Structure 1
C-alpha cells in the first residue's frame, strides 16, 4: 500500500474507485504512467452485477477527457486477455485501436495467456 501511495504522489500511477450507494463496485487504475511520453496504461474491474451497464465506459471517458484536456496525458493503453470479450469490447467501444497481440504475456491460473494491446491517442492541439 505504501508503494502505491508513493507512486500516486509522484504521478506514476493513479487509482479511481467507483462507488454506487456507498458500495465499492469497481476500479479504474492508471497502472503505469510515463510522464515524459504522456502515456498511461489502464486497468479496470467491475463487480459482476454491475457489468453491462456502461459504468466503466462512462468513468473511462471522463478520466480520458480530464487527463487529455489537462495536457498531462495523450496516449492511453489497455491490455486485456484475448479470452476476455467484455474487456476487449470496453476498449473498442471507447475508441481504442487494436495495435497487436502479445503472445503468452500474462500468467494467470497456471497458464500463460495472450493479451491484446489497444491504444487511443488524443492530441489536444
Structure 2
C-alpha cells in the first residue's frame, strides 16, 4: 500500500512537472511575441514619423497615398524612401512621385523630392 502511495505521488509530480514545462514554454512564446512586436513598432515609428514630415510639405496632404516605404540606414542616419501620389481638387490621382526623408534622432526630419537625393539614398522600383 505504501508503494502505491509513492507511485501516485510520483505521477502527481510528473503531471506537475509537465504543467511547469508547458507553462514555461507558453511564457517563452509570449515573451518572444512581445519582443518581436515591440521591435516592429519601433521600426515602424521612424516610417510613420517620416510620413508625417512628408505630409507637411506635400500639396493636398489629405489625399496623399504612400507606397514602397522603406527605411535605409547610412551609419547613424536613417532615410525613409518612398513614393506618394495626390488627388488635386477631385481630379484623378496623379503619378507616383519619389521622395526621401532624412531622419536623425532628436532633430527635425528633412523632406526632399530632389532627384539627386532620392538617387543617393533610395532604391525605389521606379528608379531601378
Q: Answer yes or no: same fold by TM over 0.5.
A: no
Name the structure where helix makes up a greater proportion of residues. 2
TM-score of the superposed pair, with normalisation by structure 1: 0.31
TM-score between both structures, scaled by the size of structure 2: 0.31
**Where is the strand percentage greater, Structure 1 or Structure 2?**
1
Q: Highest Rg: 1 or 2?
A: 2
